[in-house]
Amino acid sequence: MLTKKQLQLLEFINTRMQKDGVPPSFDEMKEALDLRSKSGIHRLITALEERGFIRRLAHRARAIEIVKLPESLGGAPSAPVSQGGFTPRVIDGDRPSSPPPSNAFDVEVATAINLPIMGKIAAGVPIEAVSDGAVNVAVPGSMLSGQGNHYALEVKGESMVEAGINHGDIVVIRETSQAKDGDIVVAMVEGYETTLKRYKRMGDRIALEAANPAFETRILPADRVEVQGRLVGLIRSY
């Protein structure tokens, strides 16, 4: 599961290596993806390496080896995942249609739905959410809305503490590209950084507001912010 920017970078590296036999420089990658700094390229390269698409070779300049390609770039289809693995996906939030159990405890168990924890989400400085989906969390069906897909993310940071969202909490997200003022959303910034913030529209700009006075509100052009989901629930372990 690659973001649009990750896929664009992988395609650019592959094209250049097929043409010239060597990978492009970080400056060339930055220019090709229209990013403002090389730090964004470093994050994308790290994400591609963590997902097994590329390998960086030590002690060699510009040494990147492509290990595999997704099907959209001509790679082989993925092999079926065994019982011990997991294919990243989101799960529909509708309640199961099983008959009502006889007591309240059984009702809660019967309506629990396993969602994949798709990585970490920043409640602070934006980071890249890692879509590994290696761990599931059981979510009460009553927490999910009846429409759309849902997934879970682990919160990293303290910028949303006054909204009751702490470091280490698991947030439940309904997948959507739409948001209203005041919604707490998963927002992708400039195509590669992901953060959890309160959304506010300001004409042709978007304000991503923290719920902690120690963190500043970020105001960005609307075309640099992509809403990927809206907060619908929270799970905390003690």
Model pLDDT for residues 98-139, shown as the tens digit of each residue: 344 434 333 334 467 777 777 777 775 554 554 555 577 777
What CATH number has the domain bearing residue 25?
1.10.10.10
CB 162 within 8 A of CB 212: yes
What CATH number has the domain bearing residue 110?
2.10.109.10
| Average pLDDT for the chain | 75
Specify if 33 maps to a domain. yes
- What's residue 60's pLDDT? 52
Which domain covers residue 47, as residue numbers? 4-73
In this structure, the answer to whether residues 103 and 68 fall within a common structural domain is no
Question: What is the H or E stretch that residue 6 is in?
Answer: helix 4-20
From 129, 132, 52, 51, select the one nearest 88 (Cα to Cα): 132
- What's residue 221's pLDDT? 94
In this structure, the answer to whether residues 64 and 100 fall within a common structural domain is no
Query: pTM for the whole thing?
Result: 0.54
Find tokens 């060597």 and name the residue.
22
In this structure, the answer to whether residues 169 and 59 fall within a common structural domain is no
- What's residue 109's pLDDT? 40
In this structure, the answer to whether residues 68 and 101 fall within a common structural domain is no
In this structure, the answer to whether residues 38 and 129 fall within a common structural domain is no
Specify if 87 maps to a domain. no
Tokens of 135: 């761990």
**Domains in the chain, number:** 2
Which stretches of the chain score pLDDT less than 70? 1, 57-62, 75-111, 124-134, 142-143, 145-147, 237-238
CB 120 within 8 A of CB 127: yes
- Work out whether the CA dihedral 166, 168, 172, 173 comes out positive or negative: positive
Q: CA 138, CA 117: separation in Å to the nearest integer?
A: 10
Angle between helices 4-20 and 38-50 (to 10 degrees): 90
Share of the chain above pLDDT 90, in %: 13
* Active site residues per annotation: 159, 197
Specify if 231 maps to a domain. yes
In this structure, the answer to whether residues 56 and 137 fall within a common structural domain is no
